Chain A
Amino acid sequence: MMKLTLAQVEHIAELAKLALTDEEKARYQEQISAILEYAERLQEVDTSSIPSTATVLPLRSVMRPDEPRDSMSRDDALANAPQVEADCFRVQAVLD
Chain B
Amino acid sequence: MALYDLTIHESLDLMRRGELTSVELTQAVLDRIGTVDRHIQAYLALSPEWALDQARQADAQRARRARGENASLLGVPLAIKDVICVEGLPCTCGSRILEDFTPPYSATAVERLRAAGGVILGKTNTDEFAMGSSTENSAYFTTHNPWDLSRVPGGSSGGSAAAVAAGMALGALGTDTGGSVRQPASLCGVVGLKASYGRVSRYGLVAFASSLDQIGPLAHNVRDGALLLGVVAGHDLRDSTSMPVAVPDYVAALDTKNGLSGIRIGVPREYFIPGMQPQVAKAIRAAIEVMRGLGAQVREVSLPHTDYSLPVYYLLAPAEASANLARYDGVRYGLRVAERGDTMWETYRQTRGLGLGSEVKRRIMLGTYALSAGYYDAYYLKAQQVRTLIKADFDAAFREVDVIACPTAPTTAFKIGEKANDPLQMYLSDVFTLSCNLAGICGISLPCGFDGNGLPIGLQILGPAFGEEIILRAAHAYEQATEWHTRKPQISVTVEVDE
A34 at interface, CB cutoff 8 A? yes
B311 at interface, CB cutoff 8 A? yes
Contacts from B to A (Cβ < 8 Å): 100-102, 104-105, 197-198, 211, 237, 240-241, 243, 305, 307-308, 310-312, 314-315, 322, 326, 329-336, 339, 341, 343-350, 352-354, 356, 358, 361-362, 364-366, 368-369, 372, 378-379, 381-389, 391, 423-424, 439-440, 465
- Residues of A near B343 (CB, < 8 A) are 92-93
A57/B440 contact (C-beta < 8 A), A12-B372, A47-B382 known: yes
Q: A12-B368, A77-B332, A80-B101 are in contact. List 10 more A-B contacts (CB 8 A).
A: A8-B369, A15-B368, A20-B353, A32-B369, A51-B385, A54-B384, A56-B198, A62-B241, A92-B339, A93-B344
- Residues of B near A4 (CB, < 8 A) are 369
A-B pairs, 10 with minimum CB distance:
A56-B440, A19-B353, A52-B384, A80-B333, A47-B385, A82-B336, A76-B104, A62-B240, A19-B349, A39-B311
- Residues of A near B366 (CB, < 8 A) are 32, 35-36
Q: Which of B322, B362, B386, B389 contacts A32 (CB 8 A)?
A: B362
**A15 x B211 contact (CB < 8 A):** no
Interface SS of A by simple majority: loop
- Residues of B near A16 (CB, < 8 A) are 322, 326, 352, 364-365, 368
- Residues of B near A79 (CB, < 8 A) are 102, 104
Q: Mark A32-60, 1 if CB is under 8 A from B, else 0.
A: 10111011011101010011111111010
- Residues of A near B386 (CB, < 8 A) are 42, 45, 47, 50
User: How far is A50 from B308 in the complex, measured between Cα atoms in Å?
Assistant: 15
A94 at interface, CB cutoff 8 A? yes
Contacts from A to B (Cβ < 8 Å): 4, 8-9, 12-13, 15-20, 24, 27-28, 31-32, 34-36, 38-39, 41-43, 45, 47, 50-57, 59, 62, 64, 72, 76-77, 79-83, 89, 91-94
Most chain B CB inside 10 Å of its own CB: which residue of A19, A38, A47: A19
**B365 x A28 contact (CB < 8 A):** yes
17 A–B contact pairs at CB < 8 A? A4-B369, A13-B365, A18-B353, A19-B350, A19-B353, A19-B354, A28-B361, A47-B388, A50-B389, A53-B387, A53-B391, A55-B211, A55-B241, A56-B439, A59-B243, A80-B102, A82-B336
Q: Which of B197, B311, B354, B439 contacts A41 (CB 8 A)?
A: B311
- Residues of A near B341 (CB, < 8 A) are 92
Q: Closest B-chain residue to A14, C-beta based?
A: B349
Shortest distance from the beta carbon of B123 to any chain A beta carbon, whole Å: 16
A31/B423 contact (C-beta < 8 A), A16-B322, A51-B388, A80-B100 known: yes
Q: Closest B-chain residue to A50, C-beta based?
A: B385
User: How far is A55 from B353 in the complex, measured between Cα atoms in Å?
Assistant: 30
**B352 x A17 contact (CB < 8 A):** yes
- Residues of A near B381 (CB, < 8 A) are 52
- Residues of B near A35 (CB, < 8 A) are 314, 366, 423-424
A43/B382 contact (C-beta < 8 A), A36-B369, A56-B440 known: yes
Q: Closest A-chain residue to B350, C-beta based?
A: A19
User: How far is A43 from B381 in the complex, measured between Cα atoms in Å?
Assistant: 11
Shortest distance from the beta carbon of A36 to any chain B beta carbon, whole Å: 7
- Residues of A near B333 (CB, < 8 A) are 80-82
- Residues of B near A53 (CB, < 8 A) are 384-385, 387-388, 391
